[in-house]
Chain A
Amino acid sequence: MLAIRFHGRGGQGAKTASRIVGTAAFLEGFVAQDSPIYGAERRGAPMAAFTRIAKEPIRERGLIAHPDVVVVADASLVGDPAAKVLEGVDATTVLFVNSPMSAEQFSAEVSVVGRLTTLNLTEIALQRLGKRGAISALLGAVAGRLIGLHQVSIHEAVARELAELGLPTSVIEQNQTVAKYCYETVPIVALETRPRRTVPVALHTPTYESPTRGTAGITVGPNSAIRSVGGWRAFRPVLRPDLCNGCWLCFANCPEGAITIKPDGRPAIYYPHCKGCLDCVEVCPTDALTVEQETAATNK
């Protein structure tokens, strides 16, 4: 059995990518199993998806604790302990990161275990699809290549999964083309699977703790104001005040409440609360909000 674990942010397409790999494997005659895990459904929030493929019935479920391949859709997740990107990753695990850096550059910056390969899917999507955001087909193609699936299977799987999402044929065909490019371009790291011994675990017997510790409560005031989601951004909205007509649609539509209205009636974006969903850009009737790509320098 091969186990691939995807890590992404809600809205990036990691779940769809896991299904693309699942469907592609199914089409090649494998037994496949794919599933996502997430908390509150929120664009930008860390999530994971799991795809298992095998020649015999799969008797595992849920979390992949020992991945053969880890696919990371957003490099900022590697540094987020809550995302657990490196859980169960050892020296033999293949680790793909969507990053502008090469594998050598990346390992120099971030210490990771595993056998690293990278490709800048975000840039490829921007250049070749003209879109930011959902890179599911590209992630699926990369993952499929790394586990040795055929390109034709992925080609068909992309069509099926994107059709399920209701995307028009022209968009699907574009995605298939760019997926093929990624399939052919990603630097290959050979899979190395070896049998694993079951590691015994030490069980802990819980003891009663005082209710000040044992109650699921947080003794502090509302603190979502100091929680920064700026690190989730790959792109940021930027206001051109000369084009703004003061309609407040951006302020009304921002799902994070990151936009406020100044005394002059014009919007102001509070970037620590901006997760880069770009809904404001979509609704702005005068194109007063433009998009800039985040770089390590601009994104603090």
Chain B
Amino acid sequence: MNQIDQMMMTGNLAAAWGARLADIDYVPAFPITPQTEIVETLAKWCSEGSLNARFVTLDSEHSMMTAAGAAAATGARVFTATSSQGLLHAFEVLYTVVGWRVPLVLVNVSRAVASPITLEPDHNDVLAARDTGFVQIHAETCQEVLDSILMAYRIAEDPRVCLPAIVNLDGFILSFTREPVMVPNPEMVKQFLPPFRPAHLGFKASAPHALGTAVSGGATYSYFRHQLHLASINALGVHDVAAIEFERLFGRRYNVVEGYRLEDAEDVLVMTNAYASKGKAAVDKAREEGRKVGLLRLRMIRPWPADAVRHALIGKRAVAVLDQNLSPGQGGILFQEIAACLYHEPLRPRALCSFIGGLGGKNISEGEFLAIFEQTAEAGIRGNGIGPVLLYTEAEHREMEQLQFLAHELKTGR
């Protein structure tokens, strides 16, 4: 029996299960909403003996990531988790551990970045780490969270990669959301995930080692950075092999992108993460009303799945990229990457449209999805892209005006 029966569990619990099934050795931890339950669960399991790992609370996420990388450099299989401000606090260490070529899995539970402060999700946090060299996989469902952690270890530890990996899941709408999850049989997981035995790592007192040594004269630095890039590119192929094996053992197939009703779609909506479920529902609704639309969900963000994106989008009339992130002064982050990889395609879509939605977890209503499909269709007919369109309803605007009015009234007494 390849899996234990289905259980209701949150995304956070699914992440903890992924780590437990991967038989991790070490968890350096630091709490932050909305991921804390992950490390609390792991702490509980370590304490009761159901997880044979060492659990240590560090003084900050910066220290936590340093400990994670250092432990992985000794050959330990390491897991940790953070969000948003915590990820940003660790930022210099993210680049550092990539340069150490230490495989480990970091779960990021996405949470919009301050200021203003919020606890709700968007993707500015995890996308800020795009250039660090971490492999990045973004999950839509709690099942995918668990499965992606197992796949992430397998990809990260492959000698053709040897890079740390981030698995992203949205705060609240996935982290605290319960849905049915199938937990794989630990014995089957062992078949999928062999023990971690890196040839290039392994500090011991008897075999001292220095990592991340200083270089000068850009040629040496360039060599090592090129190797990181090539390793990341290799992860595309390694992912596909791992996905085939995963399907064989567990019956679920993951690709670097997921197409939903794409084959005969005229216009395509591109999304990532948990709100893609809403996007799929919106596609179904639009189809009922006669629009031939589809959805492309990006699962792997780094390395960038250029071929898969091109293959999915060429020949389409119009594409709407719904970024749940914002680069102020430019627009949607994923929009730019998609535009770049389509540039030379003779059959690229006539209109590439940019929408910004869901910032700070703002709901994307059915009405907003309808507006996206309408505006994208018009753009496709005109042959000109639009955007970035900042999704914000009239009702929300009136609410905001009301708040501003109240604030002014309270301040001035008028």
Give chain A's interface residues, CB within 8 Å of chain B.
39-40, 206-212, 214-222
Residues of chain B in range 224-278 having any CB-CB distance to chain A below 8 Å = 224, 226-227, 230-231, 233-234
For the complex with contacts A208-B231, A211-B231, A217-B100, 9 further pairs of A-B residues with Cβ separation under 8 Å are A39-B214, A208-B227, A211-B198, A212-B199, A215-B224, A217-B209, A217-B213, A220-B210, A222-B208
Which residue in chain A gives the minimum CB-CB distance to B221? A216
Q: Which of A209, A212, A217, A222 has the most CB of B within 10 A?
A: A217
A214 and B209 in contact, given A39-B214, A39-B216, A208-B160 (Cβ under 8 angstroms): no
In the bound complex, CA of A32 to CA of B349 (Å): 52
B211 contacts A215, C-beta separation under 8 Å: yes
In the complex, are the beta carbons of A214 and B224 less than 8 A apart? yes
CA–CA, A193 to B216, complex, Å?
30
Of chain B, the residue at the smallest CB distance from A209 is B227
Whether B99 sits at the interface, judged by CB under 8 Å, is yes
With a cutoff of 8 Å between Cβ atoms, the chain A residues found around residue B208 in the complex are 220-222
**Other-chain contact of B101, A208, A215, A219, A222 (Cβ < 8 Å):** A215
CB-CB nearest 7 A-B residue pairs: A214-B227, A211-B200, A208-B230, A221-B208, A215-B101, A212-B200, A211-B162
Check A210 against B209 for contact (C-beta < 8 Å): no
Interface residues of B in 67-104 (CB under 8 A from A): 99-101
Contact flags B99-135 to A (C-beta < 8 A → 1, else 0):
1110000000000000000000000000000000000
B166 → chain A closest CB, angstroms: 19
Question: How far does the alpha carbon of A207 sit from the alpha carbon of B223 in the complex, in Å?
Answer: 10
Across-interface contacts of A212 in B (CB, < 8 A): 199-200
- Can you list 20 A-B pairs, Cβ within 8 angstroms, ordered by A? A39-B214, A211-B198, A211-B231, A212-B200, A214-B101, A214-B231, A215-B100, A215-B162, A215-B224, A215-B227, A216-B211, A216-B213, A216-B224, A217-B101, A217-B209, A217-B211, A217-B213, A218-B209, A219-B209, A220-B210
A217 vs B214: C-alpha distance when bound (angstroms): 9
Q: Is the CB of A216 within 8 A of B200?
A: no
Indicate whether A211 sits within 8 Å of B101 (C-beta atoms), given known contacts A206-B227, A216-B224, A217-B200: yes
Q: How far is the CB of B201 from chain A (nearest CB, A)?
A: 8
- Considering the chains assembled together, what is the distance between the CA atoms of A220 and B209 in angstroms? 5
Given A211-B162, A211-B198: A218 and B230 interface contact (C-beta under 8 Å): no
* Cβ contacts under 8 Å, A222 to chain B: 208, 210
List chain A residues, Cβ under 8 A from B101: 211, 214-215, 217
Of A39, A210, A216, A218, which contacts B159 at CB under 8 A? A210
**Partner pick for A206 among B212, B214, B216, B230, CB 8 A cutoff:** B230
State the interface size on chain B (CB cutoff 8 A).
Answer: 27
* List of B residues within 8 angstroms of A218 by Cβ: 209-210, 213
- Secondary structure dominating the interface of B: loop
Residues of the B chain whose Cβ atoms lie less than 8 Å from the Cβ of A220: 208-210
Contacts of B216 in A (CB 8 A): 39
What CA separation (Å) do A208 and B214 show in the bound complex?
A: 21
Most buried by A among B207, B210, B211: B210
A212 to B199, CA, bound (A): 7
- In the complex, whether B340 has a CB less than 8 A from a CB of chain A is no
Neighbouring A residues of B100 by C-beta, 8 Å: 215, 217
Given A214-B224, A215-B200, does the pair A208, B234 have CB atoms closer than 8 Å?
A: yes
Chain B hits for A221, CB < 8 A: 208
* Cβ < 8 Å to A, chain B residues 158-202: 159-160, 162, 198-200
CB distance from A39 to the nearest CB of B (A): 5
Cα–Cα distance between A186 and B138 once the two chains are bound (Å): 68
Q: In the assembly, what is the distance between CA of A212 and CA of B207, in Å?
A: 15
Interfacial chain B residues near A217, Cβ < 8 Å: 100-101, 200, 209-213
Chain A: CB-nearest residue to B73: A217
In the complex the two chains form, what is the Cα distance from A216 to B213 in whole Å?
A: 6
A211 to B210, CA, bound (A): 14
Which of A39, A211, A219 gathers the greatest number of chain B CB atoms within 10 Å?
Answer: A211
B215 in the interface, Cβ–Cβ < 8 Å?
Answer: yes
Q: Bound complex: CA of A215 vs CA of B207, how far in Å?
A: 17
Q: How far is the CA of A107 from the CA of B12 in the complex (A)?
A: 73
Residues in A neighbouring B200, C-beta threshold 8 A: 210-212, 215, 217
When distances are taken between beta carbons in the complex, the residues of chain B under 8 Å from A214 are: 101, 224, 227, 231
Complex CA–CA separation, A214 to B221 (angstroms): 11
